[in-house]
Amino acid sequence: MQWTDRIRQVKILLVLAAIVIAVTSLLVSHYLVKDLSKEEHKKMEVWAQALHVLNHADDNTDLTLVLDVIQGNTTIPIIVLNSEGQIDDFRNIEDTTRLEYYAQEMIQSGDTIHVGDQLVCYDESVLLKRLSQYPYWQLGIVMVFVVVAIFALLSSKKAEQNKVWVGLSKETAHQLGTPISSLMAWVEILKENHPNDELIPEMDKDVKRLERIAERFSKIGSLPEPKEGSMNEVLTHVVEYMRHRTSDKVEIICNMPDHDVKVMMNASLFEWVIENLCKNAVDAMDGSGQIDLTLMEEGGHVVIEVADNGKGIRKKDIRNVFTPGFTTKQRGWGLGLSLARRIVEDYHKGKIFVKSSELGKGTTFRIEL
């Protein structure tokens, strides 16, 4: 939970930093563009006055400064219209075939200056247009940086979790191996000395159960190879196990098609997933209620649903139920559902999610393969 909180805090800080940078850049660029636009307007007023002087000059007028002003404009697009709306002159426009269209756009935008019977129409310079677009490019770059940073944080988090899972699983399997072997030997001795004892077969089943659990941990620590198996058999084994290990007040109903539903899977690990969901359902019902297991085929996918009529999950907790360490139980570790998702999504390339949940009415988990 500490790592999750830290990741959430870093993501929030990155997003806030991106927003501050974007807003600051937009404001600074806005005021800068506004100031430059005013400067260009002043330049155009000077240019228009120079044009007026040139149009009314006589042989004694010194046009050196006037020509310098007129010829000095190399960036601002200009179109000069006469009183009849015809084009007298233009400057800094590459596409000369659309001069009338450009003139109308300039008139509609209000960038015009009247000089005698002429109308000087102008547009923003290329530099000013580029500068006005700059903050949006900058915003895009900042957002890409934030996305890449968040992705890197999530990847590092997942890599660390994988290392923890693998190490914990291998160590657990190793630690369980020796005592389980001893228990198996003791059970064999008891069978020989007390062949008619009815409790020994039950003990034998539990020891074999422990052996399967150790085998599952060993497989989680490595990448298990999926094999084609019957999902019907997996659910049947889980139902039989749960019925012997839960109260008579818990009714388990299994709905399956008549034919075998074949799936590429690791049957041992998948049994663990269904068991986890069923045990959570039993806990949610406080030892009394109904669990419905449904196996079906939909749209080319094999679907398993585990539904209970327990106390349900709060909406704000639904998105966290698969997070390692998250639990609503007083004595829970918060690893069961996280492990189930790892088995379904990482090992079997499927999906597992909360299909529906309502407080006081129950929860339905759905697996798609």
In order, the DSSP letters of 88-137 are: EEEES-S-GGGHHHHHHHHHHHT-EEEETTEEEEE---HHHHHHHHHHHH
Residue 161 resides in a domain: no
Cα–Cα distance for residue pair 183/203, rounded to 1 Å: 9
More confident residue, 1 or 243: 243
Residue type, 54: L
Last residue of a domain, one of 69, 92, 123: 123
Strand partners, 306: 293, 365
How many structural domains comprise the chain?
A: 2
More confident residue, 231 or 97: 231
* pLDDT tens string 117-129: 888 888 888 788 7
Same domain? 231 vs 118? no
Supply the mean pLDDT for the chain: 81
| Pair 82, 118: CB distance under 8 Å | yes
Report angle CA 165, 171, 176 to the nearest 5 degrees.
Answer: 125
Query: Region 40-58: what's the mean pLDDT?
Result: 82
> Among 8-22, 59-73, 243-257, where is mean pLDDT lowest?
8-22
Maximum average pLDDT range among 34-48, 139-153, 160-174, 326-340: 34-48
Q: What is the band of 274 on the pLDDT scale with cuts at 50, 70, 90? A: very high
Residue type, 196: N
* pLDDT tens string 202-225: 888 888 878 777 776 776 656 667
Query: Region 164-176: what's the mean pLDDT?
Result: 67
List, in order, residues 6 or more apart from 218 with CB less than 8 Å away: 169, 170, 173
Cα–Cα distance for residue pair 33/39, rounded to 1 Å: 10
* pLDDT tens string 285-336: 877 889 999 999 988 899 999 999 988 888 888 888 887 766 766 665 667 7
Maximum average pLDDT range among 52-61, 79-88, 159-168: 79-88
pLDDT for 1 beyond 60:
no
Last residue of a domain, one of 123, 156, 190: 123
> Among 40-44, 87-91, 131-135, 234-238, where is mean pLDDT lowest?
131-135
pLDDT at 39: 85
* pLDDT tens string 323-346: 776 676 666 566 778 888 888 888
Cα–Cα distance for residue pair 12/149, rounded to 1 Å: 12
Residue 354 resides in a domain: yes
| Pair 77, 92: CB distance under 8 Å | yes
pLDDT at 69: 82
Query: Is the Cα dihedral 7, 11, 16, 22 positive or negative?
Result: positive
- Domain range spanning residue 96? 77-123
Residue 244 resides in a domain: yes
pLDDT for 13 beyond 50:
yes
* DSSP-H helix ranges across the chain: 2-55, 64-72, 99-109, 126-193, 199-220, 231-245, 267-284, 315-318, 336-341
pLDDT for 369 beyond 50:
yes
pLDDT for 256 beyond 50:
yes
CATH number at residue 360: 3.30.565.10
Torsional class of 226: left (φ above 0), alpha (ψ -120 to 50), beta (otherwise): beta
- Strand, coil or helix: 139: helix
More confident residue, 9 or 202: 202
Cα–Cα distance for residue pair 219/269, rounded to 1 Å: 8
Residue type, 84: E
Same domain? 118 vs 234? no
More confident residue, 111 or 233: 233
Residue 47 resides in a domain: no
CA 299, 300, 306, 311: dihedral to nearest 10 degrees? -40
Residue 55 resides in a domain: no
